[in-house]
């Protein structure tokens, strides 16, 4: 049994770590790193800290426009698939690396497995929405993290081989939480527990709109709390190009740093007073860490965090972030929205079962 995994961005590496650990107990895994993320603090540190096996193939794709980046990945992944002839291809989430892996596999009639299937924002302007819808529709086995994801798939006529297993990011969180506390301390960052807001911003809808990016950083500068912000390279570039970095330089309360490692991030999340983000993964991690979350987007795929009252969508153009944060009282973090921490084990077992009965694929 041979599965070939395609990944290449920061959030995918976090997801690959627990699944790969389980998969390799039962089968051979070939790891293909597209290199969509390539800075040490966006990729290399995740391989090291999460003990992700060395990739069998480093495609070194890097940054480019959507078409060029996805097209070059598609071409190179196809070459690897022809060479390796895996029994199945495994892709994660909703990035361009996901779509390229999905297209390459499906055109060669290699069974495709999608982890984090069924997520929807119903906003087709998001590149991620295109990637996830297309990937789900060419997948043969779909691992849904939530009930809602299963329902979304059902509405689109996808019901066969859909497994509700929970979220592999919860597995990663549980596995690494205490390691994070042991390895790092808040003092390293000059922070005190529950006395700062942790923020991350990188979504195209925020970084590519001057008005939204301006409104977000302007609102950060008016907060009384320290805003600790590990800055995605995309956002840094946009702030610098637009002259908005001045807002950060002038505001005493905004502390921007380079992207931090996963274990550092877990520590920062667990001790934050609240989290302000547009990240998918960070919204969930706020819930795992039982920290109130403010999501600077018009919609979220992780609707259940909002429905249970632990996550609040905020429009930075129309709402006063300081007021929203002050007035928000999160309710209850106890619902097991993302499974039992064994999603990766379930995924590996189901894949092993499928591959040993390949007529099911």
Binding mask 190-209 for ligand UDP (x = CB under 6 A): ----------x-x-------
User: Does 18 participate in binding ligand UDP (rule CB under 6 A)?
Assistant: no
User: Does 305 participate in binding ligand UDP (rule CB under 6 A)?
Assistant: no
| Nearer residue to ligand UD1 within complex by CB, 226 or 295 | 295
| Nearer residue to ligand UDP within complex by CB, 55 or 259 | 259
| Nearer residue to ligand UD1 within complex by CB, 124 or 250 | 124
Strand 293-295 versus strand 88-92 pairing type: unpaired
Assigned token pair, 120: 């929807």
Assigned token pair, 303: 């609707």
User: Does 166 participate in binding ligand UD1 (rule CB under 6 A)?
Assistant: no
Q: Candidates 38-46, 191-199, 219-227, 283-291: pick the segment binding ligand UD1 (CB under 6 A).
A: 38-46
- For residue 259, the partner it binds in ligand UDP, ligand UD1, none, with Cβ less than 5 to 8 A by kind, is ligand UDP
Report phi then psi at 318, rounded to 5: -120, -20
CB of 212 to ligand UD1, least distance (A): 15
User: Does 265 participate in binding ligand UDP (rule CB under 6 A)?
Assistant: yes
What is the length of the chain?
Answer: 361
| Nearer residue to ligand UD1 within complex by CB, 87 or 94 | 94
User: Does 15 participate in binding ligand UD1 (rule CB under 6 A)?
Assistant: no
**Options 44, 53, 71, 233; binder of ligand UD1; rule CB under 6 A:** 233
User: Does 11 participate in binding ligand UDP (rule CB under 6 A)?
Assistant: yes
74 near 105, Cβ under 8 Å?
no
What is the Cα–Cα distance from 247 to 227, expressed in whole angstroms? Answer: 13
User: Does 164 participate in binding ligand UD1 (rule CB under 6 A)?
Assistant: no
Assigned token pair, 20: 């790969």
Question: Which residues are registered as beta bridge partners of 88?
Answer: 3
Characterize 213-238 residue by residue with b for buried, 16 or more Cβ atoms within 10 angstroms of its Cβ, and e for exposed.
Answer: bbbbbebbeebebbbbbbbbbbbbeb
Burial class (CB in 10 A: 0-12, 13-18, 19+), 190: exposed
Could you list the active site residues? 202
């Amino acid at each position: 049994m041979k599965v070939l995994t395609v990944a290449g961005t920061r959030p995918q590496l976090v997801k690959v770590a627990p699944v790969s650990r389980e998969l390799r107990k039962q089968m051979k895994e070939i790891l293909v790193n597209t290199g969509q993320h390539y800075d040490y603090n966006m990729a290399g540190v995740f391989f090291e800290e999460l003990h992700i096996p060395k990739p069998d193939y480093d495609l070194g794709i890097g940054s480019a426009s959507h078409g060029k980046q996805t097209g070059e990945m598609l071409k190179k992944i196809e070459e690897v698939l022809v060479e390796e002839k895996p029994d199945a291809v495994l892709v994660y989430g909703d990035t361009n690396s996901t779509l390229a892996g999905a297209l390459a596999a499906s055109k060669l009639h290699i069974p495709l497995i999608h982890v984090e299937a069924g997520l929807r924002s119903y906003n087709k302007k998001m590149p991620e929405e295109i990637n996830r819808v297309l990937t789900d529709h060419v997948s043969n086995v779909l691992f849904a993290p939530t009930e809602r994801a299963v329902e979304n798939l059902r509405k689109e006529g996808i019901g066969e081989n859909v497994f509700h297993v929970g979220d592999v990011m919860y597995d990663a969180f549980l596995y690494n939480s205490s390691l994070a506390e042991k390895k790092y301390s808040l003092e390293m960052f000059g922070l005190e527990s529950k006395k700062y807001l942790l923020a991350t911003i990188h979504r195209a809808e925020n970084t590519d709109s001057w008005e939204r990016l301006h409104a977000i950083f302007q609102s950060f500068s008016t907060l009384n709390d320290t805003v600790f912000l590990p800055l995605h390279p995309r956002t840094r570039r946009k702030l610098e190009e637009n002259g908005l970095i001045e807002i950060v330089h002038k505001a005493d309360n905004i502390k921007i740093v380079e992207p931090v490692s996963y274990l550092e991030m877990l520590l920062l999340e667990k001790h934050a007073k609240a989290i302000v983000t547009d990240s998918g993964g960070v919204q969930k991690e706020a819930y795992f860490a039982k920290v109130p979350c403010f999501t600077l987007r018009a919609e979220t795929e992780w609707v259940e965090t909002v429905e249970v009252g632990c996550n609040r969508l905020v429009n930075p153009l129309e709402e006063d972030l300081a007021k929203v944060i002050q007035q928000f009282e999160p309710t209850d973090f106890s619902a097991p929205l993302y499974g039992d921490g064994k999603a990766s084990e379930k995924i590996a077992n189901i894949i092993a079962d499928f591959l040993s009965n390949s007529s099911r694929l």
